[in-house]
Structure 1
Amino acid sequence: MRAVVVIVCSALVIGSIAALWRGGLMSPYADDSFWTLTTAGRAGVIAITVSGLALVLWIAQKLTPTFAKLPFLAAAILHSVAALAIFAVIYGVSPQVFYSFYQIIFPDLPAQWVISPATALSRLGDAIDLITAPNLSDDIAGLTFWTLIPFAAWCQRR
């Protein structure tokens, strides 16, 4: 049931953002660096992305009892804020996870720390824009961000 709710919430977000459906859903991403990876590389990126999304949604759903004693509107708002904060943290550390994976694909990459709080906030701002997000990664992150709001409200249904 939760999977259906996530799909419906995502469809609502996609349907409300004309830039995501104008000209076909994948056409804006023809030049995305995702397509430069091998099939195995793309599969790895997809697996990491889906795992991260599942983690965010699982944690968001687990927050439900925390706000259950509050009136619905307060619970829905606070649950949404908490879910978005969790998303922001996971999104903030995701570049390091992907970089570690890229080190497997491209063995010449040096071992280094690639995230910083300032960069994470800037990336999050770019991703939640959805209108001018420059790549598939940012649009998936933005879609997830905006999907969490109705999903958290749904979790608080009475």
Structure 2
Amino acid sequence: MSNLTPRELEILHEALDDEYRAWATYDQVLADFGDVRPFVNIRESESRHIDAIRRLFELYDVPVPRNPWIGQVERYPSLQAACEAGVAAEIANGEMYDRLIAGTQRAEILSVLRNLQEASQERHLPAFRRGAERSQGSGGRGGGGRGGGRRFRGGRRDA
């Protein structure tokens, strides 16, 4: 069984739940608007984030919960609205990781959390800001991606 503190268990669960929700949200955007950037790229990044946190669960012998967010996330009326929501979510994500990082001294957990926070703030947030700006110029309807509106069919992140 795990030798994590109750707070560290909460940290792992909160981080995984947040990444699950992000993945499901971006997957829904892709279902609604097709293979559009930045969502297609960031959803794949969220898959890697989920895998990194799941490895921590396995390292500490903690059962990995399933993704409860698939099909349960907000849908957006436009790509611009989705990008604007992405900006707000990534800002909140940075604040969440500040709080989670303060809750542990374990090097393995800190390394993963810091890497995820860096990806959120230095890559995802600017990408969503650019997406919101691009969408303003196109009426917010999408079409900024590749693939002519076909949905990218990546694997489900639900286990």
Shared fold per TM-score greater than 0.5: no
TM-score, normalised to structure 1's length?
Answer: 0.34
Which structure shows the bigger proportion of residues in helix conformation? Answer: 1
Q: TM-score, normalised by structure 2?
A: 0.34
